[in-house]
């Protein structure tokens, strides 16, 4: 167990039990890394309130109990009370070194699997058929994929759900446009053209009453399951899926063909779902439509806000599909945690869907749904990110531009690289830059899309972390050793910079758990940035290849190897590759 917080938590629980009896074993000791000591706990403050006692007195009792515990004293050099009643712990150098050595020889870096593994559905990406993925979908795709990777590493059973927009009224006009073009077309309409395709269909729909009527009739045929119509629809869906698959591959995200769970998949479940809501008295007619009115949702004038479950014409919409999907995820797939990685503007929609699902008894503990909301990507003018001509920026073009820009940078930094390596590194750096820019800031905030910042080799960026990794790899090339050969080396910590780096290295697991708990990948980015910074300080202050004495050199090489491997692992959770050289 390489992580101090995990190692110390049972010690705290034991100490609390000894000092205060079984009544208080349920309190979360809330340990965290701190600048004041290595680890700090504020459990005494909460407990004092609960017991009506002086927090310092409580903290003293905890410290006495911790000091009487052999495991704790083996981990810590000093345990003391600070300030109003904090417990400060200073880890022993020996313990840190020993944990680092065992982390180094474990492919999981000693990070334990979740004690209660869950089935987690992650609903992300969710592009729409016959529409280009735009920058709005990039955030969902990149954030969702990072969450998936972290949760899977921690041992959860993750089910990816790509809620493809493949149903609804727009398909009437899309299919009619396909018919006009000659029905053979869909096969060769590369979806790059499908955006144009969508716009052309829309223009005809808005400009011609005849076309609009045909489109409406076509929707009816589609809903009725008319075979010829379904065939045309299938072509549009197939071409789009194929295209999205290419984008995912290019962007290096883990979504595949079998993760598509399009809206249409739920069609057959909708009547049963509505019947169940009806029998539970949760929906009623309002202006011809069947609506749910979950408590607590009010319109502008304080009137109850409807969630439309079935429209006046009998059709089902976005909300109905989401209700059916939620029911299926909990009741059939047995998910206990469902994450919706969707932009902040859909907050109310989701909150209402969750509320109805709770009222219906589908979403009951331990099952819970969470909206992983995110803000917008802004252009340099702080307005919505658009192309120079005001159009929406296409994801695929963004990726290509990132790779192009990265290629020029790599050329400049390292002109000696052969062409193949250069292209590969450019791809890794370009994609890393885009993803990291998205992941490294608090997701709920908007962020400004800025090529020069995201591709900078200094600051909290992907290229900085990738470069830190590559630099360590170059130390090993110079020494003619593989980093993996340092697994068994004995690590000892003497210099402050060695200790600081060692302590930082033990935080990888805590960073992963924090992402799993808070669903905020930027915390992992911050950790990796601090790790890279700690390495830089270490490397400035502690010669590695010129270290005095074989043992010191070997220990420092082992620290360097573990740093490179931790950076590589942390970046991989973000969906970012770490090149060996750049």
Give dist(CA 291, CA 39) in Å, integer: 52
Q: Give first-to-last CA distance, the chain, whole Å.
A: 34
Instruction: Give the residue with the Cβ less far from ligand ARG, 112 or 315.
Output: 315
Smallest gap, in angstroms, from Cβ of residue 141 to ligand ARG?
11
Decide if residue 126 touches ligand ARG (CB under 6 A).
yes
Question: Residue 541 CB, nearest distance to ligand ARG (Å)?
Answer: 49
Distance separating alpha carbons of residues 557 and 534, to the nearest angstrom: 15
Do the beta carbons of residue 191 and residue 181 sit within 8 Å? no
Is there binding between residue 461 and ligand ARG (CB under 6 A)? no
Cβ atoms of 222 and 175 closer than 8 Å: yes
CB of 274 to ligand ARG, least distance (A): 18
Q: Which is nearer to ligand ARG, 438 or 498 (by Cβ)? A: 438
Q: Which of residues 321-350 bind ligand ARG (CB under 6 A)?
A: 322, 325, 340, 342
Q: How far is the CB of 391 from ligand ARG (least distance, A)?
A: 17
Select the residue interacting with ligand ARG from 3, 99, 123, 498 (CB under 6 A): 123
Question: Quick check: 432 and 139 in contact, CB under 8 A?
Answer: no
Q: Minimum Å distance from CB 166 to ligand ARG?
A: 9
- Report the residue number, 140 or 554, with the smaller CB distance to ligand ARG: 140
How far is 442 from 460, CA to CA, in rounded Å? 13
Contacts of 123 (CB under 8 A, 6+ apart): 144, 161, 162, 163, 325, 338, 339, 340, 341, 342
The answer to the question of residue 403 lying near ligand ARG (CB under 6 A) is no
Which is nearer to ligand ARG, 227 or 268 (by Cβ)? Answer: 268
165 binds ligand ARG (CB under 6 A): yes
**Binding region for ligand ARG (CB under 6 A) out of 122-130, 229-237, 396-404, 454-462:** 122-130
Q: Which C-beta is closer to ligand ARG: that of 99 or that of 145?
A: 145
Residue 338: CB minimum distance to ligand ARG, A:
9
Residue nearer to ligand ARG on the CB measure, 221 or 344: 344
Task: Return all residues near 126 (Cβ < 8 A) that are at least 6 apart.
Answer: 137, 140, 162, 163, 164, 165, 342
Minimum Å gap between C-beta 127 and ligand ARG is 6
Closer residue to ligand ARG, CB minimum distance, 47 or 342: 342
Among the listed ranges 9-17, 120-128, 535-543, 546-554, the one in contact with ligand ARG (CB under 6 A) is: 120-128
For the CB of residue 543, give the shortest distance to ligand ARG in the complex, in Å. Answer: 53
CB of 410 to ligand ARG, least distance (A): 34
As measured in angstroms, the least distance from the Cβ of 184 to ligand ARG is 28
Q: Using the minimum distance from each CB to ligand ARG, give the nearer residue, 339 or 524.
A: 339
Residue 523's SS3 state is helix
Q: How far is CA 526 from CA 145, 148, 266, 469, 531, in A?
A: 18, 19, 40, 16, 9
Give the residue with the Cβ less far from ligand ARG, 8 or 350. 350
User: Across the strands, what pairs with 284?
Assistant: 291
Least spacing, CB of residue 163 vs ligand ARG, in Å = 4
* Residue that the structure tokens 């960026």 belong to: 461
Tell me the HSE value of 222 on the side-chain side, using a 13 A CA sphere: 25
CB 29 within 8 A of CB 16: yes
Single out the residue of 112, 117, 134 nearest to residue 125, CA to CA. Answer: 134
Residue 163 interacts with ligand ARG (CB under 6 A)? yes
Judged by CB under 6 A, the stretch of 81-89, 123-131, 180-188, 419-427 that binds ligand ARG is 123-131
**What DSSP string runs through 148-167?**
HHHHHHTT-EEEEEB--B--
Q: CB-wise, 318 or 451, nearer to ligand ARG?
A: 318
Using CB under 6 A, which of the segments 121-129, 269-277, 368-376, 491-499 binds ligand ARG? 121-129
Q: Is 294 in the site for ligand ARG (CB under 6 A)?
A: no
Three-state secondary structure call for residue 361: coil
Cβ proximity to ligand ARG, 99 vs 132, nearer residue: 132
What is the spatial distance between Cα 542 and Cα 552, in angstroms, rounded to a whole number? 10
**Residues contacting ligand ARG: total by CB under 6 A:** 9
Residue 162 Cβ vs ligand ARG, minimum distance, rounded to whole Å: 9
Closer residue to ligand ARG in complex, CB, 125/565: 125
Nearest residue to ligand ARG, by Cβ distance, number only:
126
d(CA 5, CA 160): 30
Closer to ligand ARG by Cβ: residue 129 or 470? 129
| Nearest CB to ligand ARG, comparing residues 72 and 128 | 128
128 binds ligand ARG (CB under 6 A): yes
d(CA 429, CA 413): 12
- CA dihedral (459, 462, 464, 468) positive or negative: positive
Q: Is the dihedral of CA 17, 21, 24, 26 positive or negative?
A: positive
257 class by beta-carbon count within 10 Å (0-12 exposed, 13-18 middle, 19+ buried): exposed
The least distance separating ligand ARG from the CB of residue 87, rounded to whole angstroms, comes to 44
Residues 374-393 that bind ligand ARG (CB under 6 A): none
- Residue 182 tokens, joined: 């000659």
Q: Which two tokens stand for residue 14?
A: 């034991």
Min separation Cβ 15 and ligand ARG, Å: 45
- Under a CB-based contact definition with an 8 Å cutoff, are residues 448 and 465 in contact? no
Q: Is 141 in the site for ligand ARG (CB under 6 A)?
A: no
Give residues in contact with ligand ARG (CB under 6 A).
123, 126, 128, 163, 165, 322, 325, 340, 342
């Amino acid at each position: 167990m390489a992580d101090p917080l995990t190692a110390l938590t049972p010690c705290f629980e034991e100490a609390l039990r000894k000092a205060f009896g079984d009544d208080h074993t349920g309190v979360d000791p809330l340990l965290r890394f701190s600048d004041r000591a290595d680890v700090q706990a504020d459990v005494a403050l909460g407990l004092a309130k609960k017991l009506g006692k002086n927090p310092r007195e409580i903290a003293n009792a905890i410290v006495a109990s911790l000091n009487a515990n052999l495991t704790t004293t083996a981990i810590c050099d000093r345990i003391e009370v600070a300030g109003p009643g904090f417990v400060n712990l200073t880890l022993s150098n020996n313990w840190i070194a020993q944990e680092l050595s065992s982390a180094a020889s474990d492919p999981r870096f000693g990070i334990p699997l979740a004690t209660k593994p869950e089935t987690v559905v992650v609903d992300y990406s969710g592009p729409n058929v016959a529409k280009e993925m735009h920058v709005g979908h990039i955030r969902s795709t990149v954030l969702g994929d990072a969450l998936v990777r972290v949760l899977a590493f921690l041992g959860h059973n993750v089910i990816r759900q790509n809620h493809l927009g493949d149903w609804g009224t727009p398909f009437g006009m899309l299919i009619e446009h396909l018919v006009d073009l000659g029905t053979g077309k869909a096969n060769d309409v590369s979806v790059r053209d499908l955006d144009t395709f969508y716009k052309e269909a829309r223009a005809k729909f808005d400009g011609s009453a005849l076309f609009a009527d045909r489109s409406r009739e076509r929707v009816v045929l589609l809903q009725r399951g008319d075979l010829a119509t379904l065939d045309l629809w299938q072509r549009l869906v197939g071409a789009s899926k194929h295209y999205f698959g290419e984008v995912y591959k290019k962007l290096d995200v883990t979504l595949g063909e079998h993760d598509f769970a399009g809206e249409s998949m739920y069609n057959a479940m909708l009547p049963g779902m509505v019947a169940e809501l009806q029998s539970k008295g949760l929906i009623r007619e309002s202006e011809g439509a069947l609506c749910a009115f979950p408590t607590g949702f009010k319109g502008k004038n304080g009137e109850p806000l409807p969630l439309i479950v079935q429209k006046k014409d009998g059709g089902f919409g976005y909300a109905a599909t989401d209700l059916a999907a939620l029911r299926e995820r909990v009741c059939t797939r047995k998910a206990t945690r469902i994450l919706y990685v969707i932009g902040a503007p859909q907050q109310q929609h989701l909150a209402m869907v969750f509320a109805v699902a709770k009222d219906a008894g589908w979403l009951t503990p331990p099952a819970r749904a969470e909206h992983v909301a995110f803000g917008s990507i802004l252009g340099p003018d702080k307005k919505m990110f658009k192309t120079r001509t005001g159009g929406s920026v296409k994801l695929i073009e963004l990726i290509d531009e990132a790779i192009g820009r990265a290629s020029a940078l790599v050329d400049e930094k390292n002109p000696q690289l052969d062409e193949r390596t250069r292209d590969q590194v450019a791809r890794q750096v370009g994609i890393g830059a885009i993803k990291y820019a998205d992941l490294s800031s608090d997701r709920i905030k908007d962020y400004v899309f800025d090529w020069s910042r995201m591709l900078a080799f200094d600051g909290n960026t992907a290229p900085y972390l990738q470069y830190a990794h590559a630099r360590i790899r170059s130390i090993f090339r110079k020494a003619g050793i593989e980093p993996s050969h340092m697994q068994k080396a004995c690590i000892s910590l003497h210099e402050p910079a060695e200790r600081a780096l060692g302590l930082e290295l033990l935080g990888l697991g805590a960073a992963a758990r924090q992402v799993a708990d808070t669903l905020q990948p930027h915390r992992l980015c911050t950790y990796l940035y601090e790790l890279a910074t700690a390495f830089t300080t270490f490397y400035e202050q502690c010669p590695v290849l010129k270290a005095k004495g074989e043992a010191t050199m070997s220990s420092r090489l082992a620290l360097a190897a573990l740093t490179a491997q931790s950076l590589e692992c942390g970046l991989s959770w973000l969906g970012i590759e770490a090149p060996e050289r750049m």
